[in-house]
Structure 1
Amino acid sequence: MEQIQASIIQARGGAYNIGKKTADVYADNPILQHFSQLSYQKNDYEEIKALFSDYAPHLIDELQGLADGLNMTLQEAAVQFSGYNMPRPHALGCSAYVDQYHYVRNYDFSPTLYDHCLSFIAPNEAYGSIGYNLQLIGRHDGVNEKGLAIGLHFVSNAGYRKGLSAWTVIRIALDTCETTQEVIDLFKELPHAACYNFSVGDAKGEHAVIEVTPEKICVRSSTTGLNCVNHFLHGELEVFNRQDMTSSAKRDTFLLHTDTSTMTQEQLFDLFSDAASPLFFDDYDKLFGTLHSFAYSFQTKQLITALARGNRVELNIEDWFAGRDLSIDTLYGEIKKEPIPEG
């Protein structure tokens, strides 16, 4: 086994100060070098600024705080961390279940391409949120102070074009949306770069899977629970699916044949986070290993999260947003790495 960990950021106040505090935690994070290598594209800062000004102007201030904390220019920080016009992402897998009571998901990828950071933020200019960082300001998944929970699920790069990454649109949704319908309306306006599913639910019990391509958006909704994996189910979007959907289809079939509707939040979390579960993977060298699990109850406002095989954090999110900080600053987990053959 190999230990992994994630730093916990707890930041309140102005967006600039949140960016500055985030920079302090990332100062020695090797992921920064990875994002620097990706920034060869000649992004137009004015395009990024105009887009953020329309939908999330506070993120420009957060980028300025990051820039100052990391000794960069604002333009450099925007190119590297905005999630706009990024190189095409690698394939990754994520599984989720959402109904009117619960939201639960796993994030599956490689630890070498992982921010290793969980942020609790309460900006003055936007809704506060709790979620796992991706490219510093983006989020893999999260829940905001209004009880909106959302996560991403990569589908394909079919039709890839200049636009926002999935993790940036999740951050904008967490910062600005209260309901599932508001997320749907927002996603119809934003320029999307690639094909993703988004699992989403809100405090009113409304939930959906938003199937997004750079050209079109379709929505799956239900009065009962919804599964979300890594392929589109709408017939008109099936052309955007990857040719090999074996793993995604297996996970979807497993969830369809599991009575998730009767499970408690703890049971759902165990179903996703247990290393023996069909939803948990150790294929880290193939960019498909479970890195974290995340579960939220829309009724009790209880959040449960953990890294793979790691210690759980459990809290009522209202407590944190009321000003009561966590007493820990790091999450720990363990991943199973296959030995490298000799010769």
Structure 2
Amino acid sequence: MASDQPPGLDLEALRGHLDRERPGLVRGPLEGRLIEGGRSNLTYRVSDGTGRWVVRRPPLGHVLATAHDMKREHRVISALHETAVPVPEALLLCEDESVIGSPFYVMEFVDGTPYRTAGELEAIGAERTRAACLGLVDTLVELHAVDPEAVGLADFGRPEGFLDRQLRRWGKQLDASRNRELAGIDELHAALGRELPHSPAATVVHGDYRLDNVLIDDREQITAILDWEMSTLGDPLTDLGLLAMYSARLELPNSPISTTSSAPGHPDARELIERYAARSGRDVSAVSWYTAFAWFKLAVILEGIHYRYTLGQTVGAGFDRIGELVPQFIEHGLTTLQEG
């Protein structure tokens, strides 16, 4: 979506701010476009014809500041930049809303491809797909190996009681979207609460770690992890459970939910879990709980989208089919928990 003035980003105001705060960074008039694919915060590619940068800002309209905290995103990628974790270099944080209408930050542009569908992976072949997915696990191990205190993130979250708070938070999200009976959803929530595992030592947690939130180059190397808006200090196995959930073989014909697991060469969840365990040294015996929790969270997210659709607050292709997917995710969560 190229534009002289992309929605939500005043390029002239941005240029003026960059000239004041980072003189010499920009050498000519800025052009920008909104990068499609983000679920929440808005991401723009900006260029002066020579240099390229990325700008992140909260969504348009009124939002809770805590849900779209630019300072947190900027802080975590700044802290991780000198580690083995691939992140873009953070160049500038602006908390002054008078510049473009909201807080924002600027980071370097990193080359690479986000693979969002099985079809996109199929185009690169089974061998490259397998290498990319295994690299996804290895990079997660690198993230979870970072000492939060050593990189200045000791106060980045509240690890004590992390899983209990997460479960209560998502239960409240579910209650806020209730407008129909959903068989099994309360049973799943209650069962997760009864079987709460003991968390390992806290690490930096990405919160939404999956294939389409990383950039991959032509050698199947991850060049950057993106979308840190849900990051915190907490239980690292929540990231693994989410990755395992997205790696499950799903039969969702004509689904508006993008999955990559059916692509030839894509490792199954068990192989990814075993690789993570071997490389991290962590006990993953409770991974079924974490995977079931991921199913529960996604069911709640989808039900929220369905609820907004019924109120006429969400428009676009595929939203009319979201509601029928929710029971399938609940069932997967219950089955995963029972099998664990």
Indicate whether the TM-score tops 0.5.
no
Q: Which has the higher strand share?
A: 1
**Could you state the TM-score of these two structures normalised by the residue count of structure 1?**
0.32
